[in-house]
Amino acid sequence: MKPAPFVHHSPRTLDEAVAMLGDVGHDGKVLAGGQSLIPVLNMRLAQPAHLVDINRVAGLDTVTVSDDVVRVGATVRHASLEKNTEAYAVLPLLRQALRNVAHPAIRNRGTTVGSIAHADAAGEMPSIAVLTGAVIEVVGPAGRREVAAADFFEGPLMTVLEADELVEAVRFGRFAEGTRTAFLESARRHGDYALAGVGVAVDVEGQGGDAVVRGARAAYVSVTDVPVVVDLTEAVAGQPFSSAWDGVEDLVQAGIAPEADIHASSEYRRALAAELTRRALTTALSEVAS
């Protein structure tokens, strides 16, 4: 388990990084946190001739909160975003989801943007990107372009990124005032890739006893090829907070297409996704309810 030979490039500016990536093209890979790439190299499942290591590129390690978005740079570690109180205050879903990303040691090293660019269907953060209506900031030899998260993912481990492009940052959209969120997943072991996971954003109008559910949307982990948003509004609108949310079943089942693997069957993942959705709705509303 030693990687095949590669040339390690360590650019200091984004322009340098883009130029190097342009030079090596299909023979190159961007290295950020390395939590997916390095094991793949060690097992020789991929043998790129060049690694463009962006860890020393200036200016990519910042989290910026503005009125509409939380902007996360390409080398921001999961742990750093998870602990960012400003980001949590305006978009709690980030922390709610990040707590489920592997283990602390992996979150200390792995990057949120990297996990989105990697586009693993079992990754938490691609789903959060679509649920928040995120915008992916892409940079390449031809300049910058922006891609909506909904258009970014093409399949498992496949995105619209060209070989000579990298993601500079992701802008997660903030929800409207009154939106309640929760993230739940079930894994075989604590921190493993989930058998199924769900993030929900529930639109609540009013305060205290007068509060009513107006709508809800959910995005899933491990039960869809590419992250999608399932609109649960027709099943939840007007329901009491104490609802068992049984009405969401059909919508969830129509929105997901889980595949079987050695850890769980497709049927079990379906049942799990539906149950997690019901529990996530209850969790999201528990604060309002109390």
Q: Does 178 bind another protein (CB under 8 A)?
A: no
- Torsion, Cα 16 21 23 29, to 10 degrees, reads 140
The upper half-sphere exposure of residue 134, i.e. CA atoms within 13 Å in the direction of its Cβ, equals: 32
Of 110-118, 190-198, 211-219, 245-253, the segment contacting another protein by CB under 8 A is: 190-198
Alpha helices in the chain (DSSP H): 14-24, 37-42, 78-83, 85-90, 92-98, 104-109, 112-118, 124-131, 149-152, 233-236, 249-255, 266-289
Burial 196-218 (b: 16+ CB within 10 A, else e): bbbbbbbbbeeeeeebebbbbbb
From 93, 204, 216, 272, residue interacting with another protein (rule: CB under 8 A): 272
Of 20-28, 39-47, 247-255, 282-290, the segment contacting another protein by CB under 8 A is: 39-47
Shortest Å distance, C-beta 27 to another protein: 17
Structure tokens at 59: 């200016």
Shortest Å distance, C-beta 212 to another protein: 27
| Residue list 195-234, contact with another protein (CB under 8 A) | 195
The string of DSSP codes covering 32-97 is SS-TTHHHHHHTTS---SEEEE-TT-TT-S-EEE-SSEEEEETT-BHHHHHH-HHHHHH-HHHHHH
From 67, 85, 190, 240, residue interacting with another protein (rule: CB under 8 A): 190
Q: Which is nearer to another protein, 193 or 241 (CB)?
A: 193
Tell me which residue has tokens 């975003």: 81
| Residue list 84-103, contact with another protein (CB under 8 A) | none
Q: Which is nearer to another protein, 21 or 272 (CB)?
A: 272
From 23, 192, 249, 259, residue interacting with another protein (rule: CB under 8 A): 192
Of 1-9, 132-140, 146-154, 233-241, the segment contacting another protein by CB under 8 A is: 1-9
Q: Does 188 bind another protein (CB under 8 A)?
A: yes
Return residues touching another protein (CB under 8 A).
Answer: 1-5, 39, 43-44, 186, 188-193, 195, 262-265, 268, 271-272, 275
